[in-house]
Structure 1
Amino acid sequence: MYYSNGYFTFEVVLIQEKMKSNNYVQQLLEDLKERVVVKSLTKGEEILSIGHVCDYVGIVRNGSLRMYYIDSEGNDVSFGFYLAGDIFTNYEGVLTDVPSQMIIVAMGYTTVELIRKEDLLSYYDSSLEHQKLGRRMAELIFIQAKKRIDFLLFLTPEQRYLQLMEISPEVFDCIPQKHIASYIGVKPQSLSRIRKRLQEK
């Protein structure tokens, strides 16, 4: 299933990008296995906080993470969910050392593997092939962020819900409904109405 408005084919593009970016990170983890940092998180523990600089690219080994921000009205808004096998980072911080406006928190007991910025840069500088790999991964991370914006701009709330169900059905097993609601841009009550409407179809 996918949704297209004539310019974007969201479903196919997102799945392909996720697969490619994960493959790139798996190659990095293998090449840098002696430098990989393994970190265990408990429920509610932040691996990235507001005002801190993100200096790593990570992959979830087990458990789940949520990336969110606080909007101008003080609301907690989910930006992304990361399950086993997913990569996560705040790439703006990795590239520019800008303090994060995002928070990344464990939704339960979670294990992650991290590649630190300095190791990443040394790896890229070691060969032209590694530079190409780094460029491809950076491009894919950027595209994934762009698609998140497209997700909000070009899909209806019902389409966003269906797309999330199609791409990451596991999210519904480990993420509270209130966070899923904020991710698709609606209130929890509206999410309940969407679910009811779909069940009646």
Structure 2
Amino acid sequence: MNNVRAYFDTLVKMNDVDWELFSSKLEKKEFKKRTILLESGNIEKYLYFIEKGSVRLYIPKEDYDLTFGFCFSGRFMSAYDSFLTQTSSTYHIETLTETTIWRLTFDDLQDIYKQTEVGHAIGRIAAENLFLAKVKREQSLLNQTPQERYLSLFTEQPQLIKEIPLKYLASYIGITPQALSRIRKRIS
């Protein structure tokens, strides 16, 4: 829990009273590799903070999955659209490695908003981080070639290349695993 507080203190200073309320609402969970945290059709009940591990967000298809996001240690994660609207998610969330998360329910977050000033700041920062990641991904799909997207991932998020199976990276970039192999050969 000390790591979580240290991270939040880098975002916004929290007094001990606010931290006590906030931390009392957090639940620590540990998951094995390839655990489904949320299936499409279900409502997202949690906002997660990843202490350790990696997670992918994807739309399951019969022949292949469409991976559209990854989240790593030290980041917020959620099917945030479902979380905010409390309606069914259209995608899955799955751990890619052994993962330790701290989670907060929708109702507990609303309670924190009501009782603290810092809760609003944390909620805003979480929303901003999720939004910025989404915009960056959309912009890369519209403005970069698959090779440029791969090179950007390689330089900006090297943990992706190390931790994520190539078939998921290919899906994230918007190409087949075979096309990704050709790109990797070309640039090596």
TM-score range, shorter chain: 0.7 to 0.9
Pairwise CA distance, 1:75: 2.8
State the partner residue of 1:11.
none
Alignment check: 8 A CA contact 2:79 2:93 kept: no
Listed as ranges, the matches of 1:1-201 within 5 Å are 23-24=10-11, 30=19, 32-71=22-61, 74-128=63-117, 130-199=119-188
**Segments of 4+ moved more than 6 angstroms:** none
SS of the residue 2:23 aligns to: coil
SS of the residue 1:81 aligns to: strand
TM-score (norm 2): 0.83
The RMSD of aligned alpha carbons is: 2.6
- The C-alpha deviation readout for 1:1-47, integer Å capped at 9, x for no partner, is xxxxxxxxxxxxxxxxxxx99954996x9561121111111122111
Identity over aligned residues, as a percent?
33
State the partner residue of 1:7.
none
Distance in 2 separating the partners of 1:26 and 1:47:
30
Pairwise CA distance, 1:57: 1.2
The unaligned stretches of length 5 or more in structure 1 are 1-19
The one-letter amino acid of 1:45's match is T
The one-letter amino acid of 1:124's match is Y
Pair 36,133 (structure 1): closer, same or farther in 2 beyond 3 Å: closer
TM-score (norm 1): 0.78
Pairwise CA distance, 1:80: 1.2
Distance in 2 separating the partners of 1:22 and 1:170:
24
Aligned length: 178
Pair 190,145 (structure 1): closer, same or farther in 2 beyond 3 Å: same
Distance in 2 separating the partners of 1:22 and 1:151:
31
